[in-house]
């Protein structure tokens, strides 16, 4: 009886120890692309490289209004309040909040687009500032 229990415990230890090597579970395919947007690094063209310090400064100045988002934040946007009320009313009317959820999805999409636009402008401004530094425009 004791030897039978001993053999079962040895067999259990062997199964636990060897099972990871015997049974290979394939890994699910993982996308290699990044999940979040990464703006491309902006490289200066020859025309921009040949620009004077004043031209570079003017280009940065003209890009300043595009560095900001003019879309209101989530809680300051009055349309989001209306969309939340529409979700509630749609649930009462048995439409399952489709109208409100549609606007909230649109609002999130616009906010993502604004973020991408701002990142691209920031990259361009950074490139122009780097060129100004290389030309010693600050001296």
pLDDT of residue 18: 59
pLDDT tens-digit profile, the chain (139 residues): 556 666 677 766 666 665 555 555 666 666 655 666 677 788 888 998 999 999 999 999 999 999 988 888 888 888 888 888 888 877 666 666 677 788 888 888 888 888 888 988 999 999 999 999 998 887 6
Is 57 in contact with 132 (CB distance < 8 Å)? yes
Contact between residue 63 and residue 121 where contact means Cβ atoms under 8 Å apart: yes
The pair phi, psi for residue 41, each rounded to 5°, is: -75, 125
């Amino acid at each position: 009886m004791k030897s039978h229990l001993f053999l079962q415990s040895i067999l259990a230890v062997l199964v636990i120890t060897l099972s990871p090597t015997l049974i290979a579970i394939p890994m699910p395919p993982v996308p290699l692309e990044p999940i979040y947007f990464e703006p491309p690094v902006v490289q200066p063209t020859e025309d921009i490289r040949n620009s004077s310090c004043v031209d570079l400064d003017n280009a940065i100045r003209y890009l300043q209004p595009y560095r900001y988002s003019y879309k209101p934040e989530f809680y300051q946007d009055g349309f989001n309040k209306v969309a939340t009320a529409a979700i509630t009313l749609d649930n009462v009317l048995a439409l399952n909040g489709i109208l409100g959820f549609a606007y909230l999805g649109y609002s999130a999409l616009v906010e993502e687009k604004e973020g991408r636009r701002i990142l691209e402008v920031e990259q361009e401004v950074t490139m122009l500032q780097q060129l100004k530094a290389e030309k010693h425009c600050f001296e």
